[in-house]
Amino acid sequence: MILHTVNKSPFSQNTLRSCLRVVSNEDSVVLIEDGVYAALDDSSCSELIKNALQRVAVYSLLPDLKARGIEQRIIHGIQTIDYNDFVSLTEKHARVQSWF
């Protein structure tokens, strides 16, 4: 199991798209930094995450969502986490692949 972190906005880079191409069903994805903009509902990129949620768990770092004023606007099914939860996810996944 691999934990994938994504820190770039899907509106400016293909980082998330590349990640989702190769993510396995048992893996998990964590949106961090500008990567959390992928969590926005009703956006031109929402389908990326909505499709991904059919097969993988997607998490988003709450401090990054709050800092950007979008924590109330996120796609249903994304789980919001704090840093403590982020560490827990790295305990459960043997490897971490950073997409930046």
Query: Shortest approach of another protein to residue 11 CB, angstroms?
Result: 17
Matching residue, tokens 């990054």:
64
**Calpha distance 45→72 (Å, rounded):** 17
Q: Is 17 exposed, middle or buried (0-12, 13-18, 19+ CB in 10 A)?
A: middle
Query: Shortest approach of another protein to residue 90 CB, angstroms?
Result: 6
**Calpha distance 1→59 (Å, rounded):** 15
Identify which of residues 50 and 86 has a Cβ nearer to another protein in the complex.
86
Strand partners of residue 29: 4, 58
Identify which of residues 77 and 100 has a Cβ nearer to another protein in the complex.
100
Query: Shortest approach of another protein to residue 98 CB, angstroms?
Result: 4
Give the residues lining the site for another protein (CB under 8 A). Answer: 2, 5, 7, 14, 18, 21-24, 32-34, 63, 82-84, 86-88, 90-91, 94-100
